[in-house]
Structure 1
Amino acid sequence: MSLDLAVLVSGRGSNLQALVDAIGDGQLDARIVGVFCDRANAPAVERARSAGLATQVVAPRGFATRLEHDAALFDAIDARKPDLIVCAGYMRLIGEREVQARRGRLVNIHPSLLPAFKGLHTHAQAVAAGVAEHGASVHYVTPDLDGGPVIAQARVPVQPGDDAETLARRVLAREHPLLVRTLQLIAQGRIALRDERVQLDGRPLATPLQLAANQRFP
């Protein structure tokens, strides 16, 4: 089946662009029904508009509380009737009420091998911790920060002399195919969330799917 996607962004929009390109190339059976951003000057906004996508900025500045902002944002998203909501570099926490109402329909890509290095500055965290591997994860969103069930991951070796910037570049190159391929599995009906566990082809995953370089998922 084809997925109708709503995409949430805050920054450059490189993962958004990866989705646009994958849809255009036939690698992802989906269409983007709306792009939503919390920052009017984010490069992702111009990227989305250049691609001809319906784009809406819902900035928090005009709302008294985070709950009010979340409600307005998700009212706008729901009006587009997406099958799946993708946080692709969206940098704001989403409140429990909105998350719970869309459980199993809200996914995020996070630049670490969860559960390691939740939150911000993950590449600097990885370098400081001296880990041998870093990477990216796609997970279902729950009220816990970066704590939802992990669907799939891509691993990146940490090389001698790496700093946060060099490591970030290599991870980003793996994020894009990881997100596209994970969403394609969802579009094919092969991935679902049941009883708080990720299922592949109707069977619970013991561990997240691993995407190695130049490798496709099952």
Structure 2
Amino acid sequence: MKKIAVFASGSGSNYEAIIEAFHSLDSQQVEVSLLVCDKPQAYVIERAQKWATPTFVISAKEYESKEAFETVILKELEKANIDFIVLAGYMRLLGSTLLQAYMGRILNIHPSLLPAFPGKDALGQALEYGVKVTGITIHFVDEGMDTGPIVLQDTVTIDLHETKTSLAQKIQKLEHQHYPATILQCVTGEIVMEERKVKWVQKSNEL
């Protein structure tokens, strides 16, 4: 059984989609064993309580450096025997402490077709720029901001009178459709990162 830690800072819709998908599978391969949240008031904490997921809440402002902050997180991951980290709306760039410990075992989902619109407010950037198509990118995490090797992308069309709210709904639908299955493939070793590139070890199975 592979153990996953989900890192989240906000409402936790992707966390819940992951949990629901794994529960529907009744999978013996992988489980969400820990939620790490850096925002004590985030709604994802309430979702985690509903699903009885152990939760570790930590505030970065209480630590003098990113290294100190991540060292405490790393100890919690080690205590829970975490094999893989999944970022799901986690609004902090990971530092060397976590990257060195889990390189090739950290997955992120971003609401744009990277390398377009990295960083914060990708939806706002897409609307401001006036593109006709955007989407999601699932990628392994490296030292950069949304620069790691890409595992999967999918697209949505931006309509003439699209709003940020309506676009967010389209994006979330794609995220919830693809992220749980891709996580399973990466955690179980069907898809791996080798020498900063993505490698498909065997034909993927649908979730």
* TM-score normalized by the length of structure 1: 0.88
Distance 1:72 1:187, change over 3 A: closer
Query: Which residue in the other structure is 2:79 paired with?
Result: 79
Query: Which residue in the other structure is 1:136 paired with?
Result: 136
Q: How far is the alpha carbon of 1:133 from its aligned partner?
A: 1.2
Per-residue CA deviation, residues 5-41 of structure 1 (Å, 9 max, x unaligned), is: 1110100000000011001100764211111100111
What amino acid does structure 2 have at the position aligned with 1:30?
V
What amino acid does structure 2 have at the position aligned with 1:196?
R
Per-residue CA deviation, residues 129-188 of structure 1 (Å, 9 max, x unaligned), is: 111211111111111011100111121111111122211111011101211110122244
| Matching of residues 1-218 of structure 1 within 5 Å | 2-26=1-25, 29-201=29-201
The answer on whether the counterparts of 1:190 and 1:201 sit within 8 Å (CA) in structure 2 is yes
What amino acid does structure 2 have at the position aligned with 1:61?
K
The answer on whether the counterparts of 1:10 and 1:89 sit within 8 Å (CA) in structure 2 is yes
Segments of structure 1 that go 5 or more residues without pairing to the other structure are: 204-208, 210-215
**SS of residue matched to 1:92:** coil
Q: Distance in 2 between matches of 1:39 and 1:53?
A: 16
Per-residue CA deviation, residues 91-119 of structure 1 (Å, 9 max, x unaligned), is: 01111232133111111111111111100
Q: Distance in 2 between matches of 1:27 and 1:183?
A: 15
**SS of residue matched to 1:25:** helix
Q: Distance in 1 between matches of 2:115 and 2:180?
A: 21
The answer on whether the counterparts of 1:124 and 1:163 sit within 8 Å (CA) in structure 2 is no
After TM superposition, where is structure 1 displaced by more than 6 Å over at least 4 residues in a row?
A: none
Q: Distance in 2 between matches of 1:49 and 1:138?
A: 26
Q: Distance in 1 between matches of 2:129 and 2:64?
A: 38
Q: Distance in 2 between matches of 1:88 and 1:116?
A: 19
The answer on whether the counterparts of 2:117 and 2:126 sit within 8 Å (CA) in structure 1 is yes
Q: Distance in 1 between matches of 2:69 and 2:124?
A: 30
Distance 1:80 1:45, change over 3 A: same
What amino acid does structure 2 have at the position aligned with 1:165?
T
Determine what percentage of the aligned residue pairs are the same residue.
30
Q: Distance in 2 between matches of 1:3 and 1:133?
A: 36
What amino acid does structure 1 have at the position aligned with 2:136?
A
The answer on whether the counterparts of 2:8 and 2:87 sit within 8 Å (CA) in structure 1 is yes
Q: Distance in 1 between matches of 2:88 and 2:2?
A: 16
* TM-score normalized by the length of structure 2: 0.93
What amino acid does structure 2 have at the position aligned with 1:150?
I
**SS of residue matched to 2:114:** coil
Per-residue CA deviation, residues 39-87 of structure 1 (Å, 9 max, x unaligned), is: 1110001110111111110111211122211111122122211121001
Q: How far is the alpha carbon of 1:193 from its aligned partner?
A: 0.6
